[in-house]
Amino acid sequence: MPELAAELVREKVDVIVTVGLAAAVAARKATTSTPIVASTDDPVAAGLIASLARPGGNVTGVAALVSELAGKRLEVLKEMLPRVSRVGALTGQGSEPQAAAVQTAAGRLGVHLILLDVRTAADVDGAFERAQKERVGAIIQLNTPFLASQGLRIIGLAARHRLPMLYPGRSFAEAGGLAAYGPDPDREAFSRLAILVDQILKGARPADLPIERMTRIEFSVNLKTAKALGLTIPPSLLARADRVID
């Protein structure tokens, strides 16, 4: 990430757009002058901006606040599978705040959490093999760009290993994942990033463009996958689903 960010600065681009915490931090370290439009976890806590209302530097964008959602995702999984006691969490570069939030939630819920680190494509199969060795009963996927890029492969491995999984966005459930809890990035983040880029190219300063928070969170369930896994989704949870795929 630092090398890629430095390359963009050398190319004298007008705006740098980043997705994920690792990319935003790398871009901010590479330049304090080139505008950066970022979709990332809490940018204040990461030291990227002074405040959501007044960023005050060269960074603006959308606050995904994925760490807050990571803990909630474990709560939803536990409600969906009340008897599960050992849960794996697919982690990756830039997901450290999310992992900390999930560990806190696991302690509160009485769940034994196993972190399954995935940094490269070669790590994906190994993560599921370790999950089997650790007798994991279900897995949640944390929200990183790399894990999202491996979505179809992860969904296939979850099916092969017969492991229930909860994913960070509805596109995973639509592609065959069991369930998803989180915002729709196309509507909640990427379209807004494009608007901010347009404003900057027309003369606006990032320091004057408030950071927006993602507000619409969706819960999606794929009943076909649930049936294939032999699972019955609790009716109370199913009634709260924004999207049911059957």
pLDDT digits (tens, 9 = 90+) for 47-58: 899 898 989 899
Provide the pLDDT for residue 46.
85
Provide the pLDDT for residue 123.
94
Provide the pLDDT for residue 216.
82
Domain ranges for the chain, please list them: 2-64+184-213, 66-182+218-245
Whether 2-64+184-213 shares its CATH topology with 66-182+218-245 is answered: yes
Q: Which two tokens stand for residue 69?
A: 């959602």
Provide the pLDDT for residue 21.
86
Provide the pLDDT for residue 141.
96
Provide the pLDDT for residue 160.
96
* All residues at 6 or more sequence positions from 64 whose CB lies less than 8 Å from its CB, including other chains: 39, 40, 41, 143, 183, 189, 214
Provide the pLDDT for residue 100.
93
For residue 90, list its beta bridge partners: 116, 141
Separation CA 17–CA 58 (nearest Å): 12
Provide the pLDDT for residue 115.
96
DSSP letters spanning the chain: -HHHHHHHHHTT-S-EEEESHHHHHHHHHH-SSS-EEEEES-TTTTTS-S-SS---SSEEEEE--HHHHHHHHHHHHHHHSTT--EEEEEE-TT-HHHHHHHHHHHHHHT-EEEEEE--STHHHHHHHHHHHHTT--EEEE---HHHHHTHHHHHHHHHHTT--EEESSHHHHHTT-SEEEE--HIIIIIHHHHHHHHHHHTT--GGGSPPEEP---EEEEEHHHHHHTT----HHHHTT-SEEE-
| Torsion angle defined by CA atoms of residues 108, 109, 113 and 118, in that order, rounded to the nearest 10 degrees | -90
Provide the pLDDT for residue 190.
87
Q: What is the pTM of this model?
A: 0.81
Provide the pLDDT for residue 81.
96
Separation CA 21–CA 71 (nearest Å): 17
In this structure, whether the domain defined by 2-64+184-213 belongs to CATH 3.40.50.2300 is answered with yes
User: Selecting from 3.40.50.2300, 3.90.1150.10, 3.40.640.10, 3.40.47.10, what CATH number does the domain 66-182+218-245 have?
Assistant: 3.40.50.2300
Mean pLDDT in order along the chain per 10 residues (246 residues): 96 95 94 95 88 92 85 94 96 89 95 95 94 96 91 96 94 95 79 94 95 87 96 94 92
Q: Which two tokens stand for residue 104?
A: 């806190």
